[in-house]
Amino acid sequence: MDNNLLFWKNEGKTFLSRLRIWFSVLDPRSLLSSDAEIKKAHSLIGSSEKRQSYVDGDEDWKLSLSSVHAGTGVILPTVFRPQAFFPISAPLVVASFLPHTTVKPALFWQFFLQSYVAGFNHANRSSLPDQGLKTSLKQALLIVGSVAYATCAGAIPQIVMKRLILSTPAVQMFFRSILPIPISASLGYFNVIVVRSEEAENGIQVFDYDGNSVGVSKAAGAKAVQETGLSRAALLGTTAAVPNLVLFLLQKGRFLRSPLLLAPIRHISTAIVLGLMIPVSFSLYPQLGTIKKENLEKEMQPAAASGQLFYHKGL
């Protein structure tokens, strides 16, 4: 079991403890660290004196947890590291959630958002150690297909309004402020399920209580993908819902008298909610998940002497 997974085995057993850790780990300044520094940090955390040092905000722990894939020990591409998710996705999310009046800008921003999210999901998947960050041809085609589908689906409100020439205020509010919420949540879930479908089909590595690999489980793979999909749906669905609710309450309470303030408030609130929801969504499920013996394949059940096995959920 990788050192990062050993950390998650001992830490982050509750939602609040995981949330505290992610708030500390998601420091964009660590993106400036070199590969040599990351490798050194990852090797150092395996030493006995480093085991308990994270509580003091040890920089080696932060750098390893944020930059090294917990399943393979491979250094993640810079743009797909957890601490890079907010700086890169924030402008894409803000632009995608704008109430576009035409289809082309909606498709443009949805394409870049869905492409980045797909890349992030793929890079942070639960892959086998011998796979590293390699991508099969089948999976590459699935990723391209999921991005194309999600791009068109994300622009459905603008496409429908354009085709049906809908102009009444109530209908426009529905398509611009309400419909994007379930669409965003659904696409967040869909992106994970498709991009990481190989985990459910081929299985992922599972470990016993002592951290020893005991085989590959498809049931654990399906559970890991399901949990990640739900966390991403919560992230994007909440980010789409809260800013619209804030604007509605401000307008209803007549706190917002100038229409010119609508756009900046929407942009700022979207970025703030996204920034707060990223560590929350990462904390919803443990990085080192558990699966009960009865939910495993029959051939894997004898290895679950403690009644359960552990697996890397991915991010």
Per-residue pLDDT, 214: 86
Region 244-261: mean pLDDT is 75
Higher pLDDT, 92 or 8: 92
Q: What is the pLDDT of residues 221-247, one digit of tens each?
A: 999 999 999 999 999 999 999 998 888
- Vertex 291 angle, CA 140 and 64, to 5°: 60
Residue 123 burial (CB count, 10 A): 20
Residue of 81, 104, 100, 209 lying closest to 151 (CA atoms): 104
pTM of the predicted structure, to 2 decimals: 0.90
Percent share of the chain, pLDDT over 70: 91
Banded model confidence at residue 259, pLDDT cuts 50, 70, 90 = low
Residue of 191, 204, 208, 198 lying closest to 153 (CA atoms): 191
What is the C-alpha separation between 63 and 144, in angstroms, rounded? 31
Given a cut of 80, whether residue 77 has pLDDT beyond it is: yes
Strands laid side by side in the 288-292 sheet: 213-217, 204-207, 308-312, 288-292
Banded model confidence at residue 185, pLDDT cuts 50, 70, 90 = very high
Per-residue pLDDT, 147: 94
Per-residue pLDDT, 100: 82
Per-residue pLDDT, 167: 66
Q: What is the pLDDT of residues 26-73, one digit of tens each?
A: 989 889 888 898 888 888 876 545 555 554 557 888 888 899 988 888
Given a cut of 90, whether residue 91 has pLDDT beyond it is: yes
Cβ-contact 122, 196 below 8 angstroms? yes
Q: One-letter amino acid identity for 167?
A: S
Q: Which helix (H) or strand (E) holds 289?
A: strand 288-292
Average pLDDT, the chain: 86
Enter the tokens of residue 312: 């890397």
Using CA atoms, how far residue 35 sits from 51, 65, 207, in Å, is 22, 14, 28
Enter the tokens of residue 300: 């894997």
